[in-house]
Chain A
């Protein structure tokens, strides 16, 4: 049986969008192929690596094991929403400065998990960081630099809050 079409309406990176999509389309495929937001990566397709992590109503989820129609009426945020033009978000900067990016495949997902964590817990301890990042795997960095990047981002964001 062929896929039927579904009228999807959601808030994507702060903007209301509406698209006719096949009802069985995965959220990652909608983001990458329909919306051309190719920052989020499709790797394992089985909820085992975190490369496809996006935020749904502020909480990280795996877009590879979520259907696009499950995002109906919700807010989805992807890595593309973070930088302001050419100015990187402090989390992105911290990942670069801490050497937490090597091949970069896991990075968009890592950064979205970091964003959700720092929204909820602006100054997380190491254990808290490890638990919040447990659903994102990295084959390159060995994780230490990633933990340092989250700490650095937390410090810089705290500094900015104090300065402003």
Chain B
């Protein structure tokens, strides 16, 4: 395997467009374990973690924030600039372990591979288990499924979506923007071209009276992937819900937002009432995904619990 480390973004994009086999490497905490375990192979990597164009946080003309895609998760969790975007900071602080948060980037977190015990716990020499991710034609998670249904377990994606973040993609054709939610396609694919780099995220300004929170369920108190998670952003006007976003992580192949129009105008002082109203929508939002740790029913119950806790946190101020 060859690895190249371009000095500028323009050089990186030129390199990617002339080397269709090149794979982007940022912090490496998602990709390198799979390479070490021989679950994946690449001839050529293009290392972007130190690109100057992908660093830093700045104010946008509209009063929001621009966050470079290679910002490390510890910085995201600790920077005072993001204090109002609490769900994002809480999500970043929960990812894995201090070591991973010191290495891992925001961009890599949003574009990490979907995970499944039948793939990630696999050994390359096994000839038993050829699932879609191995180039096979079956899914062991959902027998009969026509494509891979591995879980997308990013903690940052639901929090970014709840805050209405836009992804900024830069490629040889120039720059384009799209809501983070639109990055995610079926079977774990991402809506990003081979020669495009996720350069940053744009967060809209925080309207007055807005609060957010992120809660997740894990088996271990730390150093663990979420079983399911929920990000909530709430805007309160005169004691009533004026705007609300509820997004679930580890809910299926991509994060799932639910329709919150049912709770518009309801009293923001009654988080239990809000949660009750939204509960029935969760059954559809969270895929019936079971693994060695929880079954599908428990995952849905955990999602309800995460949402109730996140709502309680935003309602209590």
Contacts and interface: CB of A to CB of B under 8 A. Distances in A.
Interface of A: 1-4, 6, 23-24, 26, 45-48, 50, 53, 56, 59-62, 64-67, 69-70, 72-73, 113, 116, 130-132, 134-136
A66 B108 CA distance: 14
Nearest to B97: A135
Nearest to B93: A131
Interface centre among A46, A65, A135 (most CB of B within 10 A): A65
Nearest to B21: A1
A3 B102 contact: no
Contact of B29 (A26, A47, A131): A47
Nearest to A60: B99
Interface stretch (B32-40, B135-143, B156-164, B260-268): B32-40
A56 B99 CA distance: 10
B223 A135 contact: yes
B44 A134 contact: no
Contacts of B36: 26, 45-46, 64-65
13 contacts: A1-B1, A2-B2, A24-B2, A47-B32, A47-B96, A47-B100, A56-B102, A61-B99, A61-B102, A65-B29, A69-B47, A113-B98, A134-B222
Nearest to A55: B102
Interface centre among B2, B43, B98, B222 (most CB of A within 10 A): B98
Given A47-B96, A64-B36, A134-B222, 20 more contacts: A4-B3, A4-B4, A24-B1, A24-B45, A26-B36, A46-B37, A59-B74, A59-B102, A60-B98, A60-B99, A62-B99, A62-B103, A65-B29, A65-B32, A67-B28, A67-B32, A131-B222, A134-B223, A135-B100, A136-B97
B120 to A, nearest CB: 9
Contacts, number: 98
A50 B99 contact: yes
Given A60-B102, A70-B49, A45 B33 contact: yes
A113 B100 CA distance: 12
Interface residues of B, number: 28
A163 B61 CA distance: 53
A23 B97 contact: no
A3 B2 contact: yes
Nearest to A69: B5
Nearest to B33: A46
A125 to B, nearest CB: 15
A160 B90 CA distance: 36
B307 to A, nearest CB: 25
Contacts of B97: 50, 134-136
Contacts of A65: 28-29, 32-33, 36, 103
Contacts of A47: 29, 32-33, 96, 99-100
Contacts of B103: 56, 61-62, 65-66
B50 interface: yes
B182 to A, nearest CB: 29
Interface centre among A53, A56, A61, A116 (most CB of B within 10 A): A61
